Amino acid sequence: MTPRLPLTKYHQIYLVLREQLLEGRFAKSMPAEMELAKQFSVGRVTIRHAMEKLVAEGLIVRIAGRGTFPKPVTYPGLNLGTSALTQPTRLAGLMENIVSASRATTVKVLDWRTIDAPEDVALALQVPLGAPVKKAIRLRSSREGPLSYIITYVPLHLTKDMARRDLAAKPILQLLSEAGVELGRAQQTISARQADARVAEALDISIGSALLSVRRRVFDADDRPVQWLEGLYRPDRYEYQLEVSSIGDVDARVSMREEKARN
């Protein structure tokens, strides 16, 4: 708990628990209110308020006499809803733009390891539950400071020639292309999300700050998923632009906001 943050205690706890739920920390059930109250050094009423917010968001279900259980997470990028901006993208043009924009930034690889695919990742990559996949977490920065926090999952067999240092030098889409993957289409969802504790620290912002969330699932030419990612971006340092033609074609571009241009 951080008393200096402009958030109530229950909202801080909600953000921490939300982060842990999305990571699959509570596979079977969540700890009891008393245990959580002891862990966070707060009263049960504070924990109850945080849990009610998780219930309202559809992340947990509380069953009287049995306990509190996580609900399967439905990601807009897989089951598109009306609350997010969703467009098909011209993948070749988008990849070129991502590679071009990345030249003005630096990348720090925070994580690169093999994990057992949780339910949402298995669904996105169309692999069996628990199948080995590669997970990468990268922090991208511009000259003004941290820009984006990107979590990426890739089928294990496509990463045999990828090393941690490669992820710091090139976008994963470029590495996949260089490895012989013929890229096809992409599904992309743009929405908003609040920064949880881990992301806030990495991006040097307050917990609960608004972020631009871009979820992207990329397919190869045979329509097999080869990448599933969520990028969380500081809106003061990042823009996402779409140009839509009269025949429905979409040209997507990303750009970095320059601090000097606004001052």
> What is the C-alpha to C-alpha distance for residues 263 and 10, in angstroms, rounded to an integer?
36
Question: Which of 64-78, 147-161, 185-199 has the weakest average pLDDT?
Answer: 64-78
Look at residue 45 and give its three-state secondary structure: helix
Query: Token pair for residue 92?
Result: 């070749």
Band of residue 79 on the pLDDT scale cut at 50, 70, 90:
very low
What stretch of H or E contains 88? strand 85-88
> Are the C-beta atoms of 158 and 136 separated by less than 8 Å?
no
CA distances in angstroms from 161 to 22, 83, 102, 229, listed in the order given: 29, 38, 21, 20
CATH of 85-262, one of 1.10.3720.10, 3.90.1150.150, 3.40.1410.10, 3.90.45.10: 3.40.1410.10
Question: Which of 9-13, 80-84, 235-239, 243-247 has the weakest average pLDDT?
Answer: 80-84
Mean pLDDT of 189-207: 87
Question: Which of 15-19, 29-33, 132-136, 230-234 has the weakest average pLDDT?
Answer: 15-19
pLDDT of residue 9: 85
pLDDT of residue 98: 61
Band of residue 35 on the pLDDT scale cut at 50, 70, 90:
very high
> What is the C-alpha to C-alpha distance for residues 74 and 125, in angstroms, rounded to an integer?
14
CB atoms within 10 A of CB 35: 11
What does the pLDDT look like over 55-66, one tens digit per residue? Answer: 988 888 888 888
What are the residue ranges spanned by the domains of the chain? 9-70, 85-262
**Whether pLDDT at 230 is above 60:** yes
Q: Among 44, 51, 49, which residue's Cα sits nearest to residue 18?
A: 51
Question: Which of 20-29, 150-159, 195-204 has the weakest average pLDDT?
Answer: 20-29
Q: Average per-residue pLDDT in the chain?
A: 80
Band of residue 241 on the pLDDT scale cut at 50, 70, 90:
low
pLDDT of residue 77: 46
Q: Among 90, 72, 74, 230, which residue's Cα sits nearest to residue 153?
A: 230
Position 53: which residue type?
K
**Whether pLDDT at 143 is above 90:** no
CATH code at 9-70: 1.10.10.10
> What is the C-alpha to C-alpha distance for residues 220 and 185, in angstroms, rounded to an integer?
7
> Are the C-beta atoms of 240 and 212 separated by less than 8 Å?
yes
Band of residue 94 on the pLDDT scale cut at 50, 70, 90:
low
Mean pLDDT of 162-182: 91
Does the reported pTM lie above 0.75?
no
> What is the C-alpha to C-alpha distance for residues 78 and 69, in angstroms, rounded to an integer?
22
Band of residue 82 on the pLDDT scale cut at 50, 70, 90:
very low
Query: Token pair for residue 135?
Result: 């997970």
